[in-house]
Structure 1
């Protein structure tokens, strides 16, 4: 949920937030202060966020790594239609020694998130141009000597669909999209009526929009974002993307207003702290 708030709100407001404001926002979802601080501590240790102090207040901001992940996620989340395919497959093969087994596990998670499919042991493929992500991964884990990366054509003896079915369960992904549509189509229509009749508060809109994004971003872990040419005839991803976009826009203004009201209070406290500290400077006191 914290990742969702950074991706959908905080990164558009200077990429930094006072922990008190974050706690206030997450209380709308029933999270307590202790669990929020523990989650931020984990994100800090994992290198997603960094912090600074202003007086006795802590402010957290995304690191470069965190920003890059948010940018990549946003491009995929808000993409309304599949991209065109250049006809080539990207293939990553690695042979990482046993003593670096923990790195292997991390790399698998990263590859799945980026949209790679596991063709066979230590062989991953994607029809998307993920070259940038591959080399970022190689540099991050320092595994240059253990990997080979190819951009190539598939020359059979089977069809491209055979590769798809070996790496991804397309029917299962479609079923997840069907569940999303069934759940949110009805909710979208109800909330549209509530908003028209002024029956939803800004805080309620904030909660619903954040939950919507939080649920939809889960598709980043199961849907590789296949190009149009490789998708089945009955593909529900486009319908789900359209519903997500419509519902997101419906809630955008009131939810944004609520976020800004909480966020600005944190900024105001930071400004007052800076003014107080400035007037406590020895030169100012002497003056």
Structure 2
């Protein structure tokens, strides 16, 4: 799957959203609901501002938001919140008011691209990365930061202080924990499962597979009509734009909760594979026409 610009949300907001989602079945209903205006505006920046050197004019943001059904006051409010969080900053170009991505936001976007378009799928014989941590009670804020980082990466919970994920996340895990400054409290191991018990049952206890299945099923139900509506080589650019941006904004949360577990250890058929095929088809059919339409509005 060829990477395309996406947006994974501002770091604090995404961490909070994923942390809440990972402990609540309500995320399936959330994925089935309309995408909030702020997430859609985030996605517009991630998708189309990089074609303009990280900048979008205020007028273009309003026009694109209107195409997605967002009224101008809501669009401006969303941009103001993004500015307060340090995601964008005001910038004028050729006399036009607008906003540009901050350097930290560009890094977050690139990280999001890797999760959305480059997620790996582990094999049953592959190793696991295991993270153990112990944080003093008076430093509970650090414990929360570690937990949030591991949830973002898709780790499962063996016990409160021991978390596990496929080994292809090892390097990213080390980088994430190092960037948080919490490595003094963490041990990271590469491991093989040898005994005792059925690995399928272990995986089902470490991850909430029912919740993941529900999320994927909701995505499939919501966006299958778009797949049927758009035929290859006969896609209306405006319609593609209106379907593609909400689809991508919805999908971008899922790879953060599913680390690419081995299919042999998951229920069959695995709803995640079906949803991923759907996302791939929609991305291939809609991305280009949607971008053509969006760029015509800038």
TM range (shorter): 0.7 to 0.9
Distance 1:86 1:67 in 2: 36
CA deviation vs aligned residue, 1:208-238 (integer Å, no higher than 9, x gap)? 1111112222312432221344333321222
1:162 is aligned to: 201
1:113 is aligned to: 152
Higher alpha-carbon Rg: 1
2:219 is aligned to: 180
Distance 2:80 2:272 in 1: 35
| Shift in alpha-carbon separation, 1:91–1:241, aligned structure 2, 3 A | same
Structure 2: tracts of 5 or more residues without a match: 1-39
TM-score normalised over the length of structure 2: 0.73
Structure 1 range deviating more: 2-11 or 138-147: 2-11
TM-score normalised over the length of structure 1: 0.76
Give SS of 2:297's match. Answer: helix
Give SS of 1:225's match. Answer: coil
Does the aligned pair in 1 maintain the 2:226–2:243 contact within 8 Å? no
Q: Is 1:16 matched up with 2:55?
A: yes
2:100 is aligned to: 60
Q: Is 1:145 matched up with 2:184?
A: yes
Distance 2:174 2:201 in 1: 27
Match of 2:67 among 14, 28, 32: 28
CA deviation vs aligned residue, 1:24-55 (integer Å, no higher than 9, x gap)? 21222233444434433443444444554445
Does the aligned pair in 1 maintain the 2:115–2:256 contact within 8 Å? no
Does the aligned pair in 2 maintain the 1:206–1:255 contact within 8 Å? yes
**What is the number of residues matched between the two proteins?**
258
Structure 1: tracts of 5 or more residues without a match: 264-287
1:232 is aligned to: 267
Does the aligned pair in 1 maintain the 2:90–2:97 contact within 8 Å? no
| Shift in alpha-carbon separation, 1:236–1:27, aligned structure 2, 3 A | same
Give SS of 1:57's match. Answer: strand
RMSD: 2.9
Match of 2:252 among 217, 223, 226: 217
| Shift in alpha-carbon separation, 1:58–1:12, aligned structure 2, 3 A | closer
1:253 is aligned to: 288
